[in-house]
Structures are given as structure tokens and as C-alpha cells.
Amino acid sequence: QKLQIVLIIAIIFYFVIILKICMKRVILLLIEFSTIFLRKRGNILAGRIGRILITEDELRQKVKELGEQITKDYEGKPLLLVGILKGSVVFMADLMREIKTDCKIDFMSVSSYGSGTVTSGEVQIILDLRKPIQNYDLLIVEDILDSGVTLSYLRQLLSARGPKSIKICTLLYKP
């Protein structure tokens, strides 16, 4: 009787393991299928994009170059990357992978657009830094430099808090 119970438990355990393996394979196949399907079908924005100005490879190369330059400029210095949410998140993550010196990160969320797409000229701090910045060299990381209103305000605001230096790293300039 005990042997039968042990055997039943072993069989159930075996099926659970097989089920997990199969589920992992099914999930991987679904991901692979989705990727192939999206590549064949194209990006959701495909019909709305007139032309590609900068390729993915060009962006990757530029981020790598920026990371190398930042590594060179801040080697041995207390660097604090300040990401401006939400737009800079992906750019900052990619950039951090290319920076080969120690750095800390923090985030701010600001708005000069309100609910529109044209700057109002008035900057609102939605989320402020969580740590003091006096002993850091700051590098503000932004995805797109548009009017410059927000970054100008941030530079002035953060400068008053006494960091060692403040510089800005932006992925794109929108004239």
C-alpha cells in the first residue's frame, strides 16, 4: 500500500515536471511565433511612418559612443545619472549598459506641456530626486531636447542644490 502511494506520487510528480517543460516550450514557441509574425506584418506604426531618420544600428552605435565618452569623462568621479521620466527610461537603461565606471541613478518627473503637445513655458516638478546631490557630478539624461525650457529650469533648480557639476546628455535634438 505504501509502495503504491509512493509510486502514484512519483507519477504525479513526473507529469508535473513534463507539463512544466511543455509549458515552457509552448511559451517560447508563442514568443518566437509572435516575433516572426510582427516582423512579417511590420510595426504597428508602419503605415504612419513616412521615413526612418535614424536606424536602430545608428542609435545603438551613438549610445555606445556616448557611454565611452561618459566613462572617460567621469572615471573615478562620483557620477549621478538623473533620468527625466518617462521618456528617458529606455535611453538611460541602454546608456547605463555602456558606461564602464561606477555611477548612481535617480529620477525626476517634470512637465512643461500640461495636457498638450506644445510647451506651456511653466515647469512642474511631479517627482523630485530622492537623495542629496552635493557630492555628485550630475548628468541629466533626457530623450529629446525640444524647446529647452524644461532642461534650462532643471539645470537652474539642481544647480542651487550644490552638485560638483551638471551636464546634460540627450538622445535627440528636435529643432
Known catalytic residues?
Answer: 146
Grid coordinates representing 130?
530622492
Taking the CA of residue 127 as centre, how many other CA atoms within 13 Å lie in the half-sphere pointing to its CB? 10
What element of type H or E holds 9?
Answer: helix 2-41
C-beta separation of 130 from 106 below 8 A:
yes
Grid coordinates representing 30?
508563442
Three-state DSSP at 111 gives strand
Tell me phi and psi for residue 141, to 5 degrees.
-110, 120
User: Nearest 5 degrees, angle CA 153-CA 155-CA 156?
Assistant: 65
